[in-house]
Structure 1
């Protein structure tokens, strides 16, 4: 499916409310679009260089299927990691992702950083020095060793963030009902592009097939909200913690 970048960027973007914040979320598996969205995320870190990072892996898979990045009030979901590097024509280290993870001034923070071993070798090499557990960061900043094993909502309470609640559901198989609202919207938009002469009309929305994160490009708002729960919480907590460090240094 070939859809012009300016349309693709708008189609795969939505707004969800998570942890009391309205977050703009983009889903991108096109290399050019990923680079564009990374540039946007970097522009949101001028005040404080911290970015939420998460890796999703299906239970029965030996490969990570999804990468998530958050900064400010924006998140980027990169699905289909197994095929992502086929889109990069040359050295992937010069891509937006490569340059991002090579930037040692950015504090990438999240949970489950041990899942980097399930990444594509090229992506794993990029991220070898990127990523710190939010619990470890909290323990270092607040000088409380027991925080390393705390859950995200417990860490949030520790730093005075009250809106982060326990994750009540996890991103799993996508049912047709879950994907219907977003997939039909995308199909209708792509149909209009086709009428304008763009080669962008996909097949009609499937109603009898179950999608999973590893092979899906379309997610409902509920699934997106579920997917970014931990990574955006990690970002909020880390942003608060690093703010404490800066305040202490200036006092």
Structure 2
């Protein structure tokens, strides 16, 4: 397990990387404790470079915390993770969700409340044309004008590796964190 404090486009984000099933329960509980105001989690799945059907890594972000789970090293999937992803009171927002949900399904994980971030924004903001926007354009549409949605300028590592640099961890967490921030901004507009 590794713990990191990273700057993601001006945001101090605490990232925990877990590669052993026994370490997941406490980390899922900590992430769930952040879900008070908005029951929203940014979600991303990283796949094997050679075989895009194999989910190697699951990234979950809420608030200023991200949990990176190396699915490829777990052995067995803990019940706490299964229950968390199956919790129908939590909205799991991301992009390209059909393929990611299918990949999780191949790991015996079900995520019934996964939602396409563009679709969520289009419905809540009543702007159907934004449903197909990419991450950067969607961020600008909801008023996030920094480079939060800009990608990583490096080579994507093998997600099954045992060790990662800070930059690789930042790269892994970046999109899921951006999904959370954008989703939170969209859902907060309902309160306004």
Gap change, CA 1:170 and 1:69, over 3 Å in 2: farther
Preserved CA contact (<8 Å) 1:45 1:71: yes
Q: Deviations over 1:7-44 (max 9, x none)?
A: x5xxx001111132100000002112111111000111
1:34 and 2:31 matched: no
Gap change, CA 1:110 and 1:165, over 3 Å in 2: closer
Alignment partners' CA distance in 1, 2:21 and 2:186: 32
Unpaired runs of 5+ residues, structure 2, are: none
Map 1:1-251 onto structure 2 (within 5 A).
8=1, 12-61=2-51, 62-79=53-70, 81-84=71-74, 86-88=75-77, 92=78, 95-115=79-99, 116-119=101-104, 121-124=106-109, 126-127=110-111, 129-163=112-146, 164-169=148-153, 172-173=156-157, 212-214=158-160, 216-247=161-192
Let me know the Cα RMSD of the aligned residues. 1.8
Q: Deviations over 1:204-248 (max 9, x none)?
A: xxxxxxxx212x12111101111111111110010111111133x
Specify the alignment match of 1:204 in structure 2. Answer: none
Task: Tell me which protein shows more helix as a share of its residues.
Answer: 1
Alignment partners' CA distance in 1, 2:14 and 2:84: 20
Unpaired runs of 5+ residues, structure 1, are: 1-7, 174-211
Task: Tell me which protein shows more strand as a share of its residues.
Answer: 2
Comparing 16-25 with 115-124, greater Cα deviation is found at 115-124
TM-score computed with the length of structure 1 as normaliser? 0.70
CA radius of gyration, larger in = 1
Preserved CA contact (<8 Å) 1:26 1:76: yes
Preserved CA contact (<8 Å) 1:55 1:112: no
Gap change, CA 1:120 and 1:144, over 3 Å in 2: closer
Aligned residue-pair number: 189
Preserved CA contact (<8 Å) 1:30 1:87: no
TM-score computed with the length of structure 2 as normaliser? 0.90
Preserved CA contact (<8 Å) 1:27 1:217: no
